[in-house]
């Protein structure tokens, strides 16, 4: 890919998200959407549509017999490092409890499902999307589990003498997104026990498969329209001190850490161009769409989460382009 093609791809990958956000903002300004609808739609997306999307994504994972466990372990290790880095930053540099978890999740949680997978395919071809699909089976559930923890820790114990570990665990276990992920893995486990060709929901019950397919398609577009309806430009100035570090952490610090560590470990783990394509997408994508909905529904600072999602989506066009350009110059991808 030429430099122009790289930038154009990054632009085309991110702009549909930005346009859906702008559509929601415009519809709210002309009063076609109101606060009551946005609040109800927010709950619908969080409790129904997004869990269905996650269930469907996990269900569609192929067999795990050919998984490159060293690659998965590396990706999970970097995500956990980012998780720890986000915790340290939030504890020492974010004052308000309802903002701590929002900033924390921006360190480790990327939009791998919507932007990352097609980006992996564009950069790494068939091998890139194959690697990314396997990584998604582990990274997306991990993102949601860690986010549930991050968004629970500081608000659960707010106003109390100490944080209740029991309350945090219950919030994580009861989180609809976590339930959707583990339901998908449960069905995947059952499917692996059935002899090949004996039974398949997709083949034998296509109407159920198509139902989940159609319902899951609602999740991301509706979440983005709702986000746009709730977005406020006047909040930028008030929240700037938290927006800027969170955006830098998500689209600059995270990909830099992931790619540098991959280069260091490449001699031991034999990473190929396809692996690097997946790592760029996994660590360099903007924050996940569900992060804003999840933050609001879990009593965190929803407006800050909205702002981080919007600005990471916009500026990731440039940071992904720069990252890919540097890696191409180094003949890595």
* pLDDT, position 135: 85
Q: Which residues contact 56 (CB under 8 A, 6 or more apart)?
A: 184, 212, 213, 216
The pLDDT of residue 67 is: 65
pTM for this prediction: 0.80
Q: Burial level of 104, CB count in 10 A (0-12/13-18/19+)?
A: buried
Domains parsed from the chain with CATH numbers: 3-329 (1.20.1530.20)
**Where does residue 31 fall: left (phi above 0), alpha (psi -120 to 50 degrees), or beta otherwise?**
left
H helix runs in the chain, sequence order: 3-29, 35-44, 50-59, 69-93, 97-108, 117-156, 165-174, 176-193, 201-204, 206-230, 235-248, 254-269, 273-284, 289-297, 302-329
The token duo for 220 is: 């991301």
Rounded to whole angstroms, the Cα distance separating 155 from 100 reads: 9
User: How many Cα atoms occupy the beta-carbon half-sphere of 132 within 13 Å?
Assistant: 30
Q: What is the pLDDT along the chain (333 residues), one digit of tens a residue?
A: 677 777 777 677 667 878 888 899 999 999 999 989 988 988 898 888 878 887 887 777 665 565 688 999 999 999 999 999 999 999 999 999 999 999 999 999 998 877 776 677 777 777 877 788 778 778 888 898 899 899 988 986 555 445 567 777 777 778 787 788 788 878 877 877 777 667 777 777 889 889 988 998 888 788 888 878 888 887 788 899 999 999 999 999 999 999 999 999 998 998 998 899 899 989 998 898 888 888 988 889 999 999 999 899 888 888 988 888 888 878 887
**Cα→Cα distances 52→76, 146, 185, 187, 280, Å:** 24, 19, 13, 13, 27
Q: Angle formed by the axes of helices 273-284 and 69-93, to 10°?
A: 30
């Amino acid at each position: 890919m030429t430099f122009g093609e790289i930038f154009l791809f990054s632009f085309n990958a991110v702009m549909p998200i930005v346009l859906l956000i702008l559509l929601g903002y415009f519809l709210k300004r002309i009063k076609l959407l109101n606060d009551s609808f946005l609040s109800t739609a927010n709950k619908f997306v969080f409790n129904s549509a997004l869990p269905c999307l996650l269930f469907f994504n996990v269900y569609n994972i192929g067999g795990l017999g050919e998984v490159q466990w060293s690659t998965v372990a590396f990706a999970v290790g970097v995500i956990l490092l980012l998780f720890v880095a986000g915790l340290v930053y939030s504890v020492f540099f974010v004052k308000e409890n309802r903002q701590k978890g929002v900033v924390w999740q921006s360190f480790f949680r990327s939009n791998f499902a919507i932007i990352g997978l097609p980006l992996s395919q564009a950069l790494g071809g068939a091998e890139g999307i194959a690697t990314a699909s396997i990584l998604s089976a582990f990274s997306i559930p991990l993102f949601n589990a860690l986010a549930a923890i991050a968004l629970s820790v500081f608000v659960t114990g707010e106003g109390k003498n100490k944080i209740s570990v029991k309350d945090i665990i219950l919030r994580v276990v009861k989180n609809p997104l976590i339930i959707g992920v583990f339901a998908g893995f449960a069905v995947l486990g059952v499917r692996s026990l059935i002899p090949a060709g004996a039974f398949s929901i997709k083949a034998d019950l296509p109407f159920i498969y198509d139902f989940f397919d159609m319902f899951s398609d609602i999740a991301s577009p509706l979440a983005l329209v709702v986000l746009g309806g709730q977005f406020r430009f006047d909040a930028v100035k008030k929240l700037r001190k938290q927006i800027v570090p969170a955006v830098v952490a998500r689209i600059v610090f995270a990909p830099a850490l992931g790619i540098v560590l991959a280069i260091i470990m490449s001699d031991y783990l034999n990473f190929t161009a396809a692996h690097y394509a997946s790592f760029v997408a996994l660590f360099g994508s903007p924050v996940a769409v569900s992060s804003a909905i999840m933050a609001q529904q879990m009593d965190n600072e929803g407006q800050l989460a909205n702002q981080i999602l919007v600005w990471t989506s916009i500026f990731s066009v440039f940071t992904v382009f720069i990252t890919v350009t540097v890696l191409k110059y180094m003949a890595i991808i």
